[in-house]
Copies of this chain bind each other. A is one copy, B any other.
Amino acid sequence: MASSGGKKRILILGGGFAGVYTAMYLGKLMTAAERANIEVTIVSNENYIVFQPFLPEVISGTIETLHCITPIRRMAKHAQLYTRLIEEIDIEKKTVRLAPEYVPKPIVLKYDHLVVGLGTKLNYDLVPGMREHAIPFKYLGDALRLRNQAVGVLEEAAIEKDPEERKRLLTFIVGGGGFSGVECIAELNDFLTCAIRAYPGIRREEIRCVLLQSADRILPELGESLAIYAQEILEGRGVEIQLNVRLKAVSGDGAIVVDKATKESVVIPSRTIVTTVPSAPHDLVTSLPCELDRGRIVVTENLDVPNHPGLWAVGDCAAVPQVDGITSPPTAQHALRQAKTCAHNILATIRGTKMKRFGFTGLGKLASLGRMSAVAEVFGFKMKGIVAWVFWRTVYLSKFPGFDRQIRIGIDWLLDLLLPRDITQVRIFQHEAIIQEHFHAGEKIFDQGDYGDKLYSVVKGEAEIIVNGKCVATIGEGQVFGEIALVSDQPRSAAVVAKVDTDVISVSRPAFKQLATHLPGVRATVEGIMRSRGVDTSALDSSNDTPQEGESHG
For A526, the chain B residues whose CB sits under 8 A away are: 521
Q: In the complex, what residue of chain B is closest to A69 when comparing beta carbons?
A: B424
Contact across chains for A554 and B45 when beta carbons are under 8 A apart: yes
Which of B139, B283, B433, B505 makes the CB contact (< 8 A) with A432?
B433
Tell me if A417 is interfacial: C-beta within 8 Å of chain B.
no
For A433, the chain B residues whose CB sits under 8 A away are: 432-434, 511
For A169, the chain B residues whose CB sits under 8 A away are: 102
Contact across chains for A425 and B551 when beta carbons are under 8 A apart: no
Q: In the complex, what residue of chain B is closest to A107 when comparing beta carbons?
A: B159
Please encode chain A, from 117 to 146, with 1 for each CB lying within 8 Å of some chain B CB and 0 for all others. Answer: 011111000000001000010111110110
Given A47-B155, A424-B69, A433-B433, do A552 and B102 touch, yes or no (CB 8 Å)?
no
Given A46-B427, A428-B428, A518-B459, do A282 and B554 touch, yes or no (CB 8 Å)?
yes
8 further contact pairs, Cβ within 8 A, besides A71-B424, A80-B159, A478-B518: A47-B151, A69-B426, A82-B159, A85-B554, A100-B451, A141-B426, A404-B420, A407-B419
CA distance A45 to B519 in the complex (A): 32
Contact residues, A46-84 vs B (CB, 8 A): 46-48, 61, 64-66, 69-71, 73-74, 77, 80-83
Given A107-B159, A480-B519, do A66 and B66 touch, yes or no (CB 8 Å)?
no
CA distance A152 to B47 in the complex (A): 9
* Least CB distance, A545 to chain B, in whole angstroms: 11
Tell me if A415 is interfacial: C-beta within 8 Å of chain B.
yes
Contact across chains for A422 and B282 when beta carbons are under 8 A apart: no
Contact across chains for A425 and B46 when beta carbons are under 8 A apart: yes
Q: In the complex, what residue of chain B is closest to A280 when comparing beta carbons?
A: B551
Q: Which of A13-21, A341-349, A364-372 contacts B (4 or more CB under 8 A)?
A: A13-21
Contact across chains for B450 and A552 when beta carbons are under 8 A apart: no
Q: In the complex, what residue of chain B is closest to A200 when comparing beta carbons?
A: B77
For A138, the chain B residues whose CB sits under 8 A away are: 550
Interface set of A (CB-CB < 8 Å, partner B): 13-16, 43-48, 61, 64-66, 69-71, 73-74, 77, 80-83, 85-86, 100-107, 118-122, 131, 136, 138-142, 144-145, 151-152, 155-156, 158-159, 162, 165, 169, 198-200, 271, 282-284, 404, 407-408, 411, 415, 418-420, 422-430, 432-434, 436, 446-447, 449-453, 457, 459, 478, 480, 492, 505, 507, 511, 514-515, 518-526, 528, 546, 548, 550-554
For A145, the chain B residues whose CB sits under 8 A away are: 428
Given A65-B426, A66-B64, do A104 and B550 touch, yes or no (CB 8 Å)?
no
The 7 lowest CB-CB distance pairs between A and B, nearest first, are A521-B525, A521-B521, A86-B554, A404-B419, A104-B450, A48-B424, A457-B518
* Least CB distance, A181 to chain B, in whole angstroms: 18
CA distance A24 to B552 in the complex (A): 22
For A436, the chain B residues whose CB sits under 8 A away are: 514, 546
* Least CB distance, A457 to chain B, in whole angstroms: 4
Given A104-B453, A139-B550, do A66 and B415 touch, yes or no (CB 8 Å)?
no
Given A159-B107, A514-B434, A519-B457, do A423 and B73 touch, yes or no (CB 8 Å)?
yes
Contact across chains for B82 and A283 when beta carbons are under 8 A apart: no
CA distance A86 to B554 in the complex (A): 6
Which of B73, B107, B428, B521 makes the CB contact (< 8 A) with A524?
B521
Q: In the complex, what residue of chain B is closest to A271 when comparing beta carbons?
A: B102
For A452, the chain B residues whose CB sits under 8 A away are: 104
Given A198-B73, A519-B525, A525-B521, do A552 and B423 touch, yes or no (CB 8 Å)?
no
CA distance A64 to B152 in the complex (A): 21
Given A66-B422, A520-B478, do A451 and B47 touch, yes or no (CB 8 Å)?
no
